[in-house]
Amino acid sequence: MAVDEHKDWKMDKKTVELEFARNSLREELEAINNYGARIAETENPELKRVLIHNMDEEKEHVAMLVEWIRKNDATQDKVFKEHD
Ligand SMILES: [Fe+2]
């Protein structure tokens, strides 16, 4: 399955952009999980420090994407504010 597989469908630009952002968010979350697994496995302290630094940067990327999605998807923003 290709990334952004729906981009050639008859979707408006905003819908395509939201799909790009959600796919990017998923990839950032997967990266955090991958870094976490490697941090747990490595016994090299210098490599562990680099991986932790990189993992923390991915968390910043998650925050940036969530903010963008909230700004561009009114329903998503609303449920962030109102969920139980
Ligand atoms: Fe990233």
The pLDDT, as a whole number, for residue 48 is: 98
Instruction: State both tokens at 17.
Output: 């952009």
pLDDT tens by residue, the chain, 84 residues: 457 777 677 888 999 999 999 999 999 999 999 999 999 999 999 999 999 999 999 999 999 999 999 999 999 999 999 998
The pLDDT, as a whole number, for residue 2 is: 59
Rounded distance from Cα 9 to ligand 1 centre (Å): 27
The pLDDT, as a whole number, for residue 84 is: 86
Rounded distance from Cα 49 to ligand 1 centre (Å): 17
Between CA 65 and CA 22 the distance in angstroms is 8
pTM here is: 0.88
The pLDDT, as a whole number, for residue 8 is: 75
Rounded distance from Cα 28 to ligand 1 centre (Å): 5
Between CA 38 and CA 83 the distance in angstroms is 34
Rounded distance from Cα 37 to ligand 1 centre (Å): 16
Rounded distance from Cα 51 to ligand 1 centre (Å): 13
Among residues 1, 2, 3, which one has the least CA distance to residue 23?
A: 3
For the chain, domain boundaries: 22-82
Q: Is the CB of residue 69 less than 8 Å from the CB of residue 18?
A: yes
Between CA 80 and CA 62 the distance in angstroms is 15
Number of H helices, E strands in the chain: 3, 0
